[in-house]
Amino acid sequence: MNKLRIGLVSISDRASNGVYQDQGIPALESWLKTALSSEFETQSRLIPDEQALIEEALCELVDERGCHLVLTTGGTGPSRRDVTPDATLAIADRIMPGFGEQMRQISLYYVPTAILSRQVGVIRKHALIINLPGQPKSIKETLEGVKDKDGKTVVSGIFASVPYCIQLLDGPYVETHSQVVESFRPKSAIRDIKG
């Protein structure tokens, strides 16, 4: 079976210059280990907030490394150095606006400044690329969604839709641990791969 390949890109001037330790990639790796029941491998990149470098990293991960999914963290706000969405849109074949809408919906549950986020989701060739927030807590909330005190989902996390999107792009069949995030796909797209 085709193993899921995931590109992880942390975008930060200060972390890439060694001013402080990058937290984005470790947070993503940790979350993916708890959330995915399917086998996967990751490729990581830590780069500064430079549009040309971000575009180059995204293209390399998709075009040369064959990643099915690329998750970026950081650089999605309104400040002049926040150019991750601009770079992502520049290399996109198609835009998936639902991802940006849902990420802001989740974040608005916690902070009113979520409307300042410019996060986007796009498709390049066979890959899904999603801009995530920069803080580990926000990354987890965005991927898993909002849950009540009993653990019931109030607002769906964006990762619930990622496995089916990868499937529609002819990528591998991806499964998740439902207690972390339950992936959703129509009944006709569900495969019994355990049997």
CATH number of 4-189: 3.40.980.10
pLDDT in tens, 87-138: 999 999 999 999 999 999 999 999 999 999 999 999 999 999 999 998 999 9
DSSP H helices in 36-161: 51-59, 84-90, 97-108, 136-144
Task: Report the chain's mean pLDDT, rounded to a whole number.
Answer: 93
Domain boundaries, the chain: 4-189
* Angle made by CA atoms 171, 173, 176, in degrees to the nearest 5: 125
**pTM exceeds 0.85:** yes
In the chain, the largest separation of any two C-alpha atoms, in whole Å, equals: 52
